[in-house]
Chains A and B, each alone.
Chain A
Amino acid sequence: MLDIFDFYDKMERNNIMLSFKGDITSELLTSILQIMESKLDNMQEEPKIKRKVYNVLVECLQNLYHHMDEVDQSDATRDSGRSAIFMIGRVDNQYNIITGNYIKADNVETLRGRIDKINSLSKDELKEYYKEVLNNGEMSQKGGGGLGFIDIARKSGEKLSYNFLSVDNKYSFFSLNIKIAQ
């Protein structure tokens, strides 16, 4: 039997305010954002922190949303390739936004390179890099265009902590943990 207490206990210890695992749809994002906004309001969170958490949340969730269809839907070997996990918690006055999703193994090194580059930049360098990508960067069909991680790094003011777990020769599981200090 599934040990639900184990889940509960882990979530309790990490002070998880909201978590979700499954298909990421536009409607789901609307609901999650509404729930989190009212939670932050109820907690009477400082407007400044509230805005940062909300902004980072939007970018993290939309990253997941735009990545959903990169995994081959016709790939019968893994139905779970279509789903992602998301959690937000608050421990010791720090918000943690954690996401996990499958990505194609071929894309791991490119993504690692992009995040490492962002992590190597200072606050001012990030600002310049953002403007450079905003102005010269290509717009992807969905309008993402590579600004998401830069924006998350700027708004959170922290390095992006991430991990890749190799699942098989086709897919890896990408996890991202964004910290927002109060």
Chain B
Amino acid sequence: MEKLTIEGTPKTPTINFDFGTGTLEIKGRSIPENSIEFYKPLVESLEKYSGKPQGTTSVNIQLEYFNTSSSKCILDVFKKLEAIHKGGSQITINWYYEQDDEDMLEAGEDYQAIINVPFKMIQVEE
């Protein structure tokens, strides 16, 4: 089964996408100058995965910071997930935010309002 693993850097998040278990994790900071280039492999993997997804797909997004250039790419990722969800794979997007990080919670709610996939807002201790 295919896997996508991208190691995190000070400007880009760690990405783990395991087709076999149907889990996608994005964790860390996403503040690259060129986000399109960075997110391209993930978007391509999601396209591949959408052909034969697991019955359940679990998505965990735990970002400390993300820039507006990433926010469009993250939306693209969510739109791919929305299509997979429509196609029959049960998806929940777990959106993690630090205790007093209202901006990050609000960012999750912005996506929730746009994307037709169940979201779960999960507060983590600092």
Chain A positions within 8 Å of B, measured between CB atoms, are 26, 29-30, 33-34, 47-48, 51-52, 54-55, 58-59, 62, 65-66, 127, 130-131, 134-135, 137, 139, 141-145, 147-148, 150-151, 154-155
Q: Closest Cβ of chain A: how far from B89's Cβ, in Å?
A: 23
Q: Which of B21-71 contact A (CB under 8 A)?
A: 31, 33-36, 65, 67-71
Main secondary structure of the interface of B (DSSP, over half): helix
Contacts of B69 in A (CB 8 A): 62, 142-145, 147
**C-alpha spacing A47/B98, complex, angstroms:** 10
In the assembled complex, 6 residue pairs joining A and B whose CB atoms fall closer than 8 Å, in A order, are A65-B33, A131-B113, A142-B69, A143-B73, A147-B68, A155-B103
Partner of A48, one of B101, B110, B113: B101
* A55-B103, A131-B110 known; A139-B72 Cβ under 8 A: yes
Partner of B65, one of A26, A58, A148, A150: A58
**C-alpha spacing A66/B67, complex, angstroms:** 13
Contacts of A145 in B (CB 8 A): 68-69, 72
Would you call B36 and A139 a contact (CB within 8 A)?
A: yes
Would you call B100 and A62 a contact (CB within 8 A)?
A: no
Q: Which of B100-115 contact A (CB under 8 A)?
A: 100-103, 106, 110, 113-114
* A30-B10, A55-B65, A55-B103 known; A134-B75 Cβ under 8 A: yes
Contacts of A131 in B (CB 8 A): 110, 113-114
Would you call A148 and B110 a contact (CB within 8 A)?
A: no
Would you call B33 and A48 a contact (CB within 8 A)?
A: no
Chain B positions within 8 Å of A, measured between CB atoms, are 10-11, 31, 33-36, 65, 67-73, 75, 98, 100-103, 106, 110, 113-114, 126
**C-alpha spacing A55/B68, complex, angstroms:** 10
Would you call A48 and B100 a contact (CB within 8 A)?
A: yes
Partner of B33, one of A62, A134, A151, A154: A62
Partner of B100, one of A47, A66, A142: A47
Would you call A58 and B67 a contact (CB within 8 A)?
A: yes
Partner of A142, one of B10, B33, B126: B33
**C-alpha spacing A26/B114, complex, angstroms:** 31
Partner of A135, one of B31, B36, B75, B106: B75
Contacts of B36 in A (CB 8 A): 139, 141-143
Would you call B103 and A143 a contact (CB within 8 A)?
A: no
Would you call A47 and B126 a contact (CB within 8 A)?
A: yes
**C-alpha spacing A143/B40, complex, angstroms:** 12
Contacts of A148 in B (CB 8 A): 68
Would you call A134 and B65 a contact (CB within 8 A)?
A: no
**C-alpha spacing A127/B11, complex, angstroms:** 25
* A55-B65, A62-B69, A134-B75 known; A143-B114 Cβ under 8 A: no
